[in-house]
């Protein structure tokens, strides 16, 4: 059964559906290894990040085991694994989400640099301190402080619509797909780097430098994208 070209609509779901069908039809039996990500992307006519998102969705379902540096292996059905409908509840894949945040949160940072009042700057700094405290107590990932930091920046724009959008993006960010992707890379070193990036954002906002704030947030989210991509090129 050959792969079929895919239309660019909710790509990761379509890709996951097609790979799932091939697995269940016996094209890829339990214990076998799927083709490398680059080959899957070429055969399906999609980007490699879209394939990664689909593979993470299938891993959440229990259909595959993603082993960074080794490959993607088909698993025997796991009792109690979430059904496809539950695993695919996310409206956007993790890499799509990071790109959306890159666009929206960078502008939030720029606006916050222009309009943040003293109390709002203190609230942003307080969220960052909470994130550091979580890390000091080995609470990884330190999502409570991380989420609060980004929400406080959105609030500092004075635009309620932007606050609502950032909240929605963070609801997706704390979903199953993103968290499973994060598990493959999560480490104290990763969060040390993220903390330094957060501090650069706060410094630019406090200095009322909107250009620097935008750039700092873009760099932070671009680095997150790159961190979550590291290692996939070695999947064979």
Region 135-164 average pLDDT: 97
Residue-wise pLDDT for 20-48, tens only, equals 999 999 999 999 999 998 899 999 999 88
Examine the pLDDT at 119 and tell me if it is beyond 90. yes
Find out whether 111 and 157 touch, Cβ atoms under 8 Å.
Answer: yes
Task: Please tell me the predicted confidence (pLDDT) of residue 26.
Answer: 92
How far apart CA 139 and CA 190 sit, in angstroms, is: 13
Task: Please tell me the predicted confidence (pLDDT) of residue 81.
Answer: 57
Q: At what angle do helices 11-24 and 37-44 cross, to 10 degrees?
A: 100
Q: How many helices (H) and strands (E) does the chain have?
A: 11, 2
Residue-wise pLDDT for 45-63, tens only, equals 998 888 998 999 999 999 9
Examine the pLDDT at 80 and tell me if it is beyond 70. no
CA angle 166, 121, 158 (to 5 degrees): 45
Residue 30 is given by DSSP the state: T
Region 149-163 average pLDDT: 98
Task: Please tell me the predicted confidence (pLDDT) of residue 11.
Answer: 83
| Tokens describing residue 224 | 């997150």
Examine the pLDDT at 141 and tell me if it is beyond 90. yes
Residue 100 is given by DSSP the state: H
Q: Is 74 helix (H, G, I), strand (E, B) or coil?
A: strand
Examine the pLDDT at 217 and tell me if it is beyond 90. yes
Q: Can you list the domains of the chain with their CATH numbers?
A: 11-87 (1.10.10.10), 94-231 (1.20.120.530)
- DSSP β-bridge partners for residue 65: 73
Task: Please tell me the predicted confidence (pLDDT) of residue 221.
Answer: 97
Region 13-26 average pLDDT: 92
Task: Please tell me the predicted confidence (pLDDT) of residue 186.
Answer: 82
């Amino acid at each position: 059964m050959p792969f079929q070209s895919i239309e660019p609509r909710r790509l990761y779901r379509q890709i996951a559906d097609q790979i799932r069908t091939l697995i269940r039809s016996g094209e890829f039996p339990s214990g076998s290894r799927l083709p490398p990500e680059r080959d899957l992307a070429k055969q399906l006519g999609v980007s490699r990040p879209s394939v990664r998102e689909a593979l993470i969705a299938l891993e959440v379902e229990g259909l595959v085991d993603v082993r960074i540096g080794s490959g993607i292996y088909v698993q025997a059905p796991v009792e109690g694994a979430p059904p496809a409908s539950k695993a695919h509840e996310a409206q956007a894949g993790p890499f799509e989400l990071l790109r959306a945040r890159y666009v929206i949160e960078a502008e939030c940072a720029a606006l916050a640099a222009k309009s943040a009042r003293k109390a709002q700057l203190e609230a942003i700094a307080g969220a960052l301190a909470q994130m550091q405290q979580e890390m000091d107590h080995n609470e990884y990932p330190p999502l409570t402080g991380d989420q609060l930091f980004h929400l406080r920046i959105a609030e500092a724009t004075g635009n309620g619509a932007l606050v609502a959008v950032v909240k929605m993006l963070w609801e997706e960010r704390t979903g199953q797909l993103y968290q499973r992707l994060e598990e493959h890379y999560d480490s104290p070193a990763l969060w040390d780097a993220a903390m330094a990036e957060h501090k650069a954002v706060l410094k630019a906002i406090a200095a009322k430098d909107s250009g620097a704030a935008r750039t700092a947030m873009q760099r932070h989210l671009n680095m997150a994208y790159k961190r979550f991509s590291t290692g996939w090129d070695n999947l064979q």
